Amino acid sequence: MAKDGKSPLHHPQTQFTHVGRPPAGLGTAVNPDITRASTLLFDRAEDLYRSDIRGYGRHGSAGHDALIEAFNLLEGGAGTTLAQSGLAACTLPILANVKAGDHLLLTDSSYGPTRHFCQKYLKGIGVETEMYDPRIGGGIDALIRNNTAVIMMESPGSLTFEIQDIPAITKAAKAKGVTTIIDNTWSAGLSLKPLALGVDISCHAATKYFGGHSDVMFGATISAAPAMAKKVALTAKYLGYATSPDDAYQILRGFRTVVHRFRQSEKTALSLALWLNDQDKVQQVLHPALPTHTDYAIWKRDFTGTACLFGVILKPCSEAEVLAFINALKIFGIGYSYGGFESLAIHCDPQLTRQHSDSLGGPLVRFACGLEAVEDLKNDIEQALEKIN
Ligand SMILES: Cc1ncc(COP(=O)(O)O)c(C=O)c1O
């Protein structure tokens, strides 16, 4: 809230500066306290029967509540459940919405460990996963069966960057009572508001932009409707999900600066993508804001921006040359993840296990831009490209 307690705060950077902070007063801290607790004491024996108070450390703290408020604000959600990692934030809403005998539709472009969870763990408990083409759009209607419980999206795919037609998919899902979930990690909820496009649940690897410094694992599952939020929270309770108050504090701290860090790295990524698009050794740049991207029109319609992460398909060359290129990068680290202050690059081909897409026609490298100067990053890539003949 604004100081007068009344004025609406419109811009996300203003809202995120204030959300979840304790009321100001003489000598009070700017930030919420960190409460480390397993045991919480009750005043009287009969208090154990009360349902209106927090009874145990696993159920969070005031700091967790502040972070929940921030995630609800980010996506316009009715309720958020915090999770110990981004993967846990993705698997939780799936588990909350499937039972033995159900069918799940998962985008072929999904994050690998989510795919493994569905294809291996869910299979073991009697839930069938069918992979769908991320570009299927309203055609998903034909794949929905009587027992389809969930459609799990990710847009763009974090390796191959297909943008999904979310409104068409949610329309088909709603007509048949299917729950829709999206992994919204790429956009940080800043470039895409999936709940406003009809998605039931948005999940985040807050490890990325909200952590922002590559030193904390965290996740958040945000539901559009109160009943769904309750269902997800109850599942987390049954499963014993719990997050550290110190980690929750770090993620709320990340909220204060996330818009600025996100916009800076987004700008750097777009600049590098445009430059790489003109390089001789590059076949195609997979960045949704380039008009050459297959899904440019959908991106332009549904998104308000991009992110720090994009891919580059190199002209066909040997694997040894791709590896030499990545090894020659001096500023970009070699590592999974993104959203931290430091730039990263990975060779994606070993992780591509698709059923629906054609061969990319060349090796795929993914760049995650950090907060370094764009000229330095450009020079770094330029000198490394010399390793490819
Ligand atoms: C798109 C996407 N979803 C989920 C995750 C999982 O997040 P975490 O590493 O916090 O478990 C990642 C991590 O790389 C990711 O890229």
- In tens, the pLDDT along 292-311 reads 999 999 999 999 999 999 99
Has residue 2 been placed in a domain?
Answer: no
Best probe residue, ligand 1, of 111, 164, 241, 366 (max atoms within 8 Å of C-beta): 111
Which of 216, 213, 160, 218 is CA-nearest to residue 185?
A: 218
Domain count, the chain: 2
> Could you tell me if 314 and 186 lie in one domain?
no
Mean pLDDT, residues 273-279 taken together: 98
> Could you tell me if 276 and 362 lie in one domain?
yes
Has residue 249 been placed in a domain?
Answer: yes
Ligand 1 pocket: which residues have CB below 6 Å?
85-87, 90, 111, 158, 183, 185, 205, 207, 217, 219, 336-337
> Could you tell me if 128 and 37 lie in one domain?
yes
Q: pLDDT value at position 71?
A: 98
Residue 350 pLDDT more than 90? Answer: no
Distance 19 CA to ligand 1 centre (A): 25
Q: 1 pLDDT band (50/70/90 cuts)? A: very low
Q: pLDDT value at position 116?
A: 97
Best probe residue, ligand 1, of 185, 192, 244, 308 (max atoms within 8 Å of C-beta): 185
Has residue 6 been placed in a domain?
Answer: no
Has residue 7 been placed in a domain?
Answer: no
Residue 382 pLDDT more than 50? Answer: yes
Of 23-27, 235-239, 267-271, give the lowest mean pLDDT range.
23-27
Q: pLDDT value at position 4?
A: 41
Residues in a beta bridge with 365: 312, 347
Active site residues: 58, 111, 183, 208
Distance 155 CA to ligand 1 centre (A): 13
pLDDT digits (tens, 9 = 90+) for 211-222: 999 999 999 999
The CATH number of residue 40's host domain is: 3.40.640.10
> Could you tell me if 185 and 48 lie in one domain?
yes
Instruction: Take atom 14 of ligand 1 and give the residue whose Cα is closest.
Output: 337
149 CB contacts (<8 Å, ≥6 apart)? Answer: 97, 98, 99, 102, 103, 104, 127, 178, 179
Distance 338 CA to ligand 1 centre (A): 9
Angle between helices 245-276 and 62-75 (to 10 degrees): 30
Instruction: Take atom 13 of ligand 1 and give the residue whose Cα is closest.
Output: 337
Q: pLDDT value at position 9?
A: 62
Has residue 298 been placed in a domain?
Answer: yes
Structure tokens at 124: 């073991």
Where is the domain boundary, 195, 229, 253? 253
Q: pLDDT value at position 241?
A: 98
DSSP assignment letter at 56: B
Where is the domain boundary, 253, 274, 293? 253
Q: 5 pLDDT band (50/70/90 cuts)? A: very low
> Could you tell me if 147 and 266 lie in one domain?
no
Over the range 1-21, which residues count as b (16 or more CB within 10 Å of their CB) and which as e? eeeeeeeeeeebbebbeebbb
> Could you tell me if 55 and 128 lie in one domain?
yes
Q: pLDDT value at position 36?
A: 97
> Could you tell me if 223 and 355 lie in one domain?
no
Q: pLDDT value at position 74?
A: 97
Mean pLDDT, residues 337-348 taken together: 97
CA distances from 50 to 1, 54, 55, 256 (A): 31, 9, 9, 35
The CATH number of residue 303's host domain is: 3.90.1150.10
Torsion of the alpha carbons at 19, 23, 26 and 31, rounded to the nearest 10:
-40
> Could you tell me if 301 and 271 lie in one domain?
yes
State the CB neighbour count (10 A cutoff) for residue 330. Answer: 11
Task: Identify the H or E element spanning 129.
Answer: strand 128-132
Has residue 4 been placed in a domain?
Answer: no
Mean pLDDT, residues 194-221 taken together: 98
State the CB neighbour count (10 A cutoff) for residue 131. Answer: 20
> Could you tell me if 24 and 140 lie in one domain?
yes
Has residue 345 been placed in a domain?
Answer: yes
Has residue 84 been placed in a domain?
Answer: yes
Structure tokens at 214: 């590559």
Mean pLDDT, residues 331-348 taken together: 97
Higher-confidence residue of 4 and 353: namely 353
Residue 237 pLDDT more than 60? Answer: yes
Percentage of residues of the chain with pLDDT beyond 70: 98
Q: pLDDT value at position 8?
A: 58
Residue 143 pLDDT more than 80? Answer: yes
Average pLDDT, the chain: 95
Distance 376 CA to ligand 1 centre (A): 27
Where is the domain boundary, 219, 253, 287? 253
Structure tokens at 351: 């992780």
Residue 2 pLDDT more than 80? Answer: no
Q: 360 pLDDT band (50/70/90 cuts)? A: confident
> Could you tell me if 38 and 23 lie in one domain?
yes
pLDDT digits (tens, 9 = 90+) for 59-88: 999 999 999 999 999 999 999 999 999 999
Best probe residue, ligand 1, of 84, 87, 337 (max atoms within 8 Å of C-beta): 87
Of ligand 1's atoms, which has the minimum distance to the CA of residue 206?
Answer: 10
Mean pLDDT, residues 301-329 taken together: 97
Domain holding 113, by residue range, is 12-253
Residue 154 pLDDT more than 90? Answer: yes
> Could you tell me if 162 and 27 lie in one domain?
yes
Q: pLDDT value at position 356?
A: 81
User: Residue 344 — φ and ψ, nearest 5°?
Assistant: -140, 155
Percentage of residues of the chain with pLDDT beyond 90: 91
Q: 353 pLDDT band (50/70/90 cuts)? A: confident
> Could you tell me if 63 and 169 lie in one domain?
yes
